[in-house]
Amino acid sequence: MKAVIQRVAQSSVTIEGEVVASIQKGLLILVGIEEADTKEDIEWLSSKIVNLRIFADENSIMNLSVKEVNGDAIIVSQFTLHASTKKGNRPSYIKATKPDIAIPLYEQFIQQFEKDLEKRVQTGQFGADMKVSLINDGPVTILIDTKNKE
């Protein structure tokens, strides 16, 4: 699994003109799923994100997690995170898994994240044409790949 984590002052997801998700302080999490992803990837990634110390403490040091600041989250599926740009100018998405495998893994990730965060999260809609807006706070943007746990 790949994830782009953005610390946001606010974020929202709009589908066909309707706002389906909206948060203030928290995280916008874009998740890309590949066929090789497992329950272990889901658990590791969820725990890693929930516990990332990327929010400021009383001394303005990034030392607190989204859970510690009672932040919210929006999770959005994004197959383009698995784009391969090695050949030519048209990205290949061959590593992104098909919906019949990706949807259950995406839903499991949401459930695991809610369990780890101990609160409900908002989401986009898998496969929909979404308009995602955000005010990146910092800016803070972090990339995580469960296949590269360095």
Catalytic site positions: 80
Tell me which residue of 141, 120, 129 sits closest to 23, measured CA to CA: 120
Cα dist. 21→32, 81, 82 in Å?
A: 19, 21, 24
Angle at the Cα of 17 from the Cα atoms of 14 and 111, rounded to 5 degrees: 30
d(CA 49, CA 8): 14
